[in-house]
Chains A and B, each alone.
Chain A
Amino acid sequence: MQLNGITKRFPGVVANHDIDITVRRGIVHALVGENGAGKSTLMKILYGMQKPDEGTIAIDGEQVTFSNPGDAIARGIGMVHQHFMLADNLTVLENVVLGSEKLHGIGGRARARIKEISDAYGLGVRPDALVEDLGVADRQRVEILKVLYRGARTLILDEPTAVLVPQEVDALFDNLRGLKAEGLTVIFISHKLGEVLSVADEITVIRRGTTVGSADPRTTTTKQLAELMVGSELPSPETSESTVTDVAMLTVDGLRLTAPDPDGVARVVLDDITFTIHQGEVLGVAGVEGNGQAELVEAIMGMRVPDAGVLTLAGADISRTPTRKRRVAGIGYIPEDRHRHGLLLEAPLWENRILGHVTEKPNSKGALLDPAAVRRDTQRIVTEYDVRTPGIDVTAASLSGGNQQKLIVGREMSHHPKLLIAAHPTRGVDVGAQAQIWDQIREARREGLAVLLISADLDELIGLSDTLRVMYRGRLVADADPATITPEELGSAMTGASSGHLEHEPSAAEGGEDR
């Protein structure tokens, strides 16, 4: 596949100009660039969702024009979107055949074809499972299968690893290698450079709407790639001197939570969680997703009622305090899923500035809202936290992920929290915004903020934290010193392979006593 001189103009702007890419058959070709560099526009052109103003697309030497995704599918190009497009209440089989009933029907033939594809590429998809019962990684495989089912020979994957944990990423990459081995072409869009280097055969870098170069993954380092991508040096999450004090800010003692699983049986999701975060301390919690981190956050926020345990914030018992009072008492919250818990997507930015702090100044006076003050303060947040938006009346949904996150961080920091709960604060956020968010957390920490940091990005955890804990099956099974630990050592504790106090060079005497 060959793209030559692709240019796309929107009124007054050029989103893509002079893009030249050649993708050879049967390889994994990565397209890297910051958010907003023009990757998405390019992919939309390739998938027929938008038409280029200039330039040509050729497939197998034959020039083609796509006027809609149907044309692209007919040419064997399929796309796996970043946000899955599956119907939760249907089975995998039903989701796959939906819209392609003509190909192999909706019954036994379709099922056989699905099994065949699944086995051929090692996808391990069960046709009769309900999609709502599947995890994120399984859903992604269903999406891939859907595209293959429609006969795609070239797959475009838009930020496929953004929602996966390291182990799942490895599994995905194995799948991609399987596809490649069968002669399929994969175009992989990402800004996670380590992943790109590990899976891609060829790399094209896009910056400010144009191709700035290509790289050979065998000889390039992440640092070189990053510099090519942002045009300057890569930020690092490292903190400098320690600011930890001995004043306890949040104490969690013996927290235990049970929740019913899908079969209705009560399962322990948090078991005897005990820790203390001091003023000026960042406590990082590592763990494979689904080991209780989300429940821990929700228990501290008061969104779940624990079965046992005492929570103390700045000396006051908040175990039975409702969520709103906890927030007023000084808990700032950067939620894991900002679309579900942090924003009102269809409301304007200034209303989003009120969310979660409706009782606090400047949002309200007594029982009344104070829209004028809110608007002024939203404008301030937009300026100070560099939220890129044409105004505060646009809806939150129209901002990019990074800018949405900057707005949330700005909002939470504006209320001077004593404790900040940051769950995956830089997930799905571009490099520039990532550096800013890290800076803000560091700065607040210097001023005495206590931070509970939960992240799947181990570099981020090690770089920002003063203390590290590892969560496994609802328990804090290990702790580590971020100054000496490596991501690999942390990773092995996350899978339950080691526990206790993790030393940089683990000796045989360790491990096991907590299990």
Chain B
Amino acid sequence: MKIFARIDRERLLLGLAAPLMAVVAAIIVTALVLLATGKQPFDAFQIMVSYGFKSDSQVYILNRATEYYLAGLAVAIGFRMNLFNIGVEGQYGMAVFFTAIVGGYVNLPGFIEIPLLIITAMLVGAVWAGIAGVLRVKRGVSEVISTIMLNSIAAQGIISYLFQPHRLAHTTDGGNVVQTDNLPKSAWFFTITGNPAAGPIDGFVVVAILAGVAYWFVLSRTRFGFDLRTVGQSESAAEASGVDVKRMIVISMLISGAVAGLVGLPALLNEAHTYGDGIPTGIGFIGIAVALLGRNHPIGIGIGALLWAFLDRTSGWLEFQGYDKEIVGVIQGVIVLCVVIAYEVVRRYGIGRQQRKVGEELAAASVTSHQQEAAA
């Protein structure tokens, strides 16, 4: 029994080692960059920490992290299948746009309206991701290529065509602002206000947490999740074990897209209540970094999302204090780079170490049994 406990503890330590190494390496590299530009690195870090932990910063960070977390989950579902869904960006863009349109047309009681809008977002996201899945299965098109192209088709094609004053949007504020019809009050998602000075926390954080729990449960506790992980680990073994790999690719792209569909909803249902300037872009790509950083683990992705939001929040303040705000971009870039390297290093080290240990345990066992035989 002792052996199991030790191996498990080791696995945990190894699991934590990689992201820690990455963050530490990122801090060192950033410090060197700051030194090279003639600034005191520790002052900058000090400013980031003290500003990042103010209460209004905390609320901001939590709200951004909610979006990053959902995007990270969507990417992680693909990663667990060995699929690289770069299209979360386009999927949530399409989803939030069409949800805003539907929300602007329909005015129902909240308990129907909100679920309707959430389902709409998930459906649109799923369809947009499903196209890539079907292309991959039917035509062998790499999902990396197709999702990147679908991102452009969504943003520069469909949305920019429809999102114009005489089509699905209108202008307000004397013709300066283009937006879709406002969502009815019944479509506003609840917020949590602890400290009025810090601002409200998006209620969607609850949805994000539920999504994380569902992700964990489905992957590690259900037959479907096992099949999905099997395909991710070895497509050939999955096929031999009876998984319909092609069907699985389409299904997992659909699920990944459905989760991606949720990414834009905190901004839409909790904050802007209309599609326009208030809807952020670029979260899909942040999701890739966050999923990498969190090692596709539901808690890890959460930590990654919070770290990313923290860095985003503090970058603006750094500029205010006379630093280059690009320094945060350097930190983020170095973290992602280091994480990828550190995971591979730690993974190989872990496999080698375990093989060696198992060999030693077995050799030890056989020596003792021979000694016992000899003694008997």
Which residues of the other chain, B, contact A303 by a CB distance below 8 angstroms? 239-240
Contact residue range for chain A? 35 or more
With beta carbons under 8 angstroms apart, the residue of B240, B241, B355, B362 that contacts A397 is B355
CB of A367, distance to nearest CB on chain B (Å): 5
Contact of A342 among B237, B351, B359 (CB under 8 A): B237
Taking a contact as CB atoms under 8 Å apart, the answer to whether B360 and A11 are in contact is yes
A367 to B3, CA, bound (A): 32
What are the residues of chain A within 8 A of B229 when measuring CB–CB? 347
8 Å CB contact of A10 from B8, B233, B242, B363: B363
Residues of B within 8 A of A356 (CB): 240-242
Does B230 contact A344, Cβ atoms closer than 8 Å? yes
Once the chains bind, are A367 and B237 in contact (CB under 8 Å)? no
A509 interface contact, C-beta 8 A? no
B:346-371 near A, CB below 8 Å? 351, 354-367, 370
User: In this complex, what residue of A is CB-closest to B356?
Assistant: A10
Interface string of A300-328 (1 = CB under 8 A from B): 01110000000000000000001111110
> Distance (Å) between the CB of A472 and the closest chain B CB?
26
- Tell me if B230 and A395 are in contact (CB < 8 A): no
Quick one: given A12-B364, A13-B360, are A393 and B8 in contact (CB under 8 Å)? yes
Contact B227 A358 (CB under 8 A): yes
CB neighbours (8 Å) of A355 from chain B are 230, 237, 241
Asked if B224 lies at the interface with its beta carbon under 8 angstroms from chain A, I say yes
Q: Does chain B have a CB within 8 A of A184?
A: no
Assess whether B236 is in contact with A358, with CB atoms less than 8 Å apart: no
Contacts of B366 in A (CB 8 A): 36, 208
- B234 within 8 Å of A (CB atoms): yes
Report which residue of A333, A359, A369 has the largest number of chain B beta carbons within 10 angstroms of its beta carbon.
A369
With a CB–CB cut-off of 8 A, which chain B residues contact A333?
240
- Check B190 for interface membership: any CB of A closer than 8 A: no
Number of A-B contacts (CB under 8 A): 120
A398 near B223 with CB under 8 A, answer: no
At the interface, yes or no: B244 with Cβ under 8 Å from chain A?
yes
Any A CB within 8 A of the CB of B243: yes
Q: Which residue of B lies closest to A333 (CB)?
A: B240
Q: Which residues of B contact A13 (CB under 8 A)?
A: 360, 363-364, 367
- Residue B167 interfacial (CB < 8 Å): no
Asked if B240 and A394 make an inter-chain contact with CB atoms under 8 angstroms apart, the answer reads no
Let me know if A416 is at the binding interface, CB within 8 A: no
Chain A positions 278-320 with a Cβ under 8 Å from a chain B Cβ: 301-303
Q: Interface readout for A344-373 with B: 1 if CB under 8 Å, 0 if not?
A: 111100010011111100001001110100
Alpha-carbon gap, A393 to B358, bound state (A): 11
B344 vs chain A, min Cβ distance (A): 13
Whether the Cβ atoms of B222 and A368 lie closer than 8 Å is yes
Contacts of B233 in A (CB 8 A): 344-347
A55 to B241, CA, bound (A): 49
Question: Which residues of chain A are near B239, meaning CB under 8 Å?
Answer: 303, 323, 341
Stretch of A73-81, A383-391, A442-450 contacting B (4+ beta carbons < 8 Å): A383-391
Cβ of A437 within 8 Å of any chain B Cβ, yes or no, is no
**Which B residues from 45 to 94 make CB contacts under 8 A with A?**
none
Contact across chains for A341 and B237 when beta carbons are under 8 A apart? yes
The answer to whether A343 has its CB under 8 Å from any CB of chain B is yes
Given contacts A208-B370, A346-B233, contact A358 B358 (CB under 8 A): no
Which residues of chain B are near A302, meaning CB under 8 Å? 242
A335 at the interface (CB under 8 A from B): yes
Residue contact A358 to B223, C-beta cutoff 8 Å: yes
A369→B239 CA distance, assembly (Å): 19
Q: Is B7 part of the binding interface, using a Cβ–Cβ cutoff of 8 Å?
A: yes
Question: Is B221 located at the chain interface by the 8 A CB criterion?
Answer: yes
Nearest B-chain residue to A15, judged by Cβ: B363
Kindly list chain B residues whose C-beta atoms are within 8 Å of the C-beta of A234.
none
Whether, in the assembled complex, B105 has its beta carbon less than 8 Å from a beta carbon of chain A, the answer is: no
Contacts of B365 in A (CB 8 A): 388, 390
Contacts of A390 in B (CB 8 A): 3, 7, 357-358, 361-362, 365
Known: A327-B242, A333-B240, A391-B7. A398 touches B354 (CB 8 A): yes
B320 is an interface residue with CB less than 8 A from chain A? no
A399 at interface by CB-CB < 8 Å? yes
A102 part of interface (Cβ distance < 8 Å): no
Q: What residue in chain B is nearest A347 (Cβ atoms)?
A: B233
Compute how far the CA of A11 lies from the CA of B356 in the bound complex, rounded to whole angstroms. Answer: 11
- Establish whether residues A359 and B223, one from each chain, have CB atoms under 8 Å apart when the complex forms: yes
Q: State in angstroms the CA–CA spacing of A143 and B363 once bound together.
A: 31
Interface positions of A from 461 to 501, Cβ below 8 Å from B: none
- The listed residue (A12, A326, A397) touching B360 by CB distance below 8 A is A12
Contact A340 to B234, CB < 8 A, known contacts A208-B370, A358-B223, A394-B358: yes
Q: How far is the CB of A351 from chain B (nearest CB, A)?
A: 8
Complex-state Cα separation, A391 to B234, whole angstroms:
23
Compute how far the CA of A11 lies from the CA of B222 in the bound complex, rounded to whole angstroms: 40
Would you call B4 an interface residue if the criterion is a C-beta within 8 Å of the partner chain's C-beta atoms?
Answer: yes
- Chain B residues in 8 Å Cβ range of A346: 233, 351
Shortest distance between the CB of A349 and any CB in chain B (Å): 11
Q: Which residue of A lies closest to B4 (CB)?
A: A391
Residue of B whose beta carbon sits closest to that of A370:
B221
- B240 lies within 8 A of A301 (CB): yes
Q: When each residue 80-96 of chain A gets 1 if its CB lies under 8 Å from chain B and 0 otherwise, what string results?
A: 00000000000000000
Given contacts A397-B351, A398-B354, contact A369 B242 (CB under 8 A): no
B226 within 8 A of A: yes
Instruction: Looking at the assembled complex, report how far the CB atom of A330 sits from the nearest CB atom of chain B, in whole angstroms.
Output: 13
A-B contact pairs, 7 of them (CB 8 A): A15-B363, A302-B242, A344-B234, A356-B240, A367-B222, A369-B221, A388-B365
Q: A11-B360, A333-B240 are in contact. List 6 more A-B contacts (CB 8 A).
A: A14-B363, A302-B242, A324-B241, A343-B234, A354-B226, A356-B242
**Chain A residues in the interface with B (C-beta under 8 A):** 10-15, 36, 208, 301-303, 322-327, 333, 335, 340-347, 351, 354-359, 364, 367-369, 371, 388-391, 393-395, 397-399
5 tightest Cβ-Cβ pairs between the two chains A and B: A324-B242, A356-B241, A341-B240, A390-B361, A13-B363
